[in-house]
Amino acid sequence: MSDWRPVLLVPVAIVLPAGSHAAVYLSVEQAQKVLFPGAPLQAAPVQLTPEQKAAIEQRLGVRLRITDLKVWRAPDGAVFIVDEVIGKHEFITYAVAIRADGAVKGIEILEYRESYGYEVRHPGWRGQFVGKTTASALELDKDIRNIGGATLSCRHITEGVKRLLVTHELALR
């Protein structure tokens, strides 16, 4: 195929030794425009009371890590919530829009960050790559845009949305 060519024609290759990678998709404001086009949203942050927290935890069977919620309200009773989920190696900020009747209107991922610590912890492993970079420009994160072979699952987001739906039902209506 003429549209691609391998760069690995020399016996070297590498790597982003920092072990971290981030992608920013939308700002909070941009996500609001995607999920509520044209609708004015009013910031209405919520601090869950101990009773609300206990009720949500009992329903979900998990401990709530965060009790202050970043909430915006739309004129039709819908809400927009910005939340975070943390996996073993990834940290995802996302927004959920929930209609007044409690149904999900939409989900937007705002930012994704991942981090793997072993390169730092195991200098021997890292050492095999030091000084082997094909082109120094490739180390810049902006050039690492197209990464094949990820480990990503959206399970944490699914769990986060479920938590926010229960929170909405018990504390935000």
Partner 1 sequence: MSSPCAEFRRAQPLLGTIVSISVVAPHADIARAAVSAGFEAVARVQGAMSFHDPGSDLSRIHRDAWRKPVPVGADTHRVLRAAVALSRATQGVFDCTVAPRLVAEGRLPCPDGAPRPAAGADWRAIDLSRAGHVALQAPVWIDLGGIAKGYALDAAAAALRSAGAWGFRMDAGGDLRIRMPEPEPVHVRHPTAPGCFFPVGRLRDGAVATSAPYADETGLWWGIVDPRVGARLAEVSSVSVFAARGLWADALTKIVMLAPDLSARLARRLHATAIVLRGDGAGEVCDGRLRPSARWTVRGGDNA
**Residue recorded with tokens 């960050």:** 113
Select from 70, 119, 166, 169 the one that contacts partner 1 (CB under 8 A): 119
* Cis amide linkage into residue 15, ω under 30° from 0: yes
Residue 118 interacts with partner 1 (CB under 8 A): yes or no: yes
Residue 63 interacts with partner 1 (CB under 8 A): yes or no: no
Which x/- pattern, by CB under 8 A, does the window 142-171 give for partner 1? -xxxxxxxxxxxx--xx-------------
Helix axes 50-60, 155-167, angle to 10 degrees: 130
**Measured distance CA(158)–CA(81) in Å, rounded:** 15
Nearest-approach distance from CB 16 to partner 1, in angstroms:
5
Instruction: Return the residues of window 1-60 that contact partner 1 according to CB under 8 A.
Output: 1, 3-17, 19-21, 23, 25-26, 34
DSSP 54-103: HHHHHHHTS--S--EEEEEE-TTS-EEEEEEEE-SSEEEEEEEEE-TTS-
Size of the site for partner 1 (CB under 8 A): 63
The neighbour count for residue 73, using CB atoms within 10 Å, is 16
Nearest-approach distance from CB 154 to partner 1, in angstroms:
4
Binding site for partner 1 (CB under 8 A): 1, 3-17, 19-21, 23, 25-26, 34, 87-89, 92, 107-109, 112, 114-116, 118-119, 123-132, 134-135, 138, 143-154, 157-158
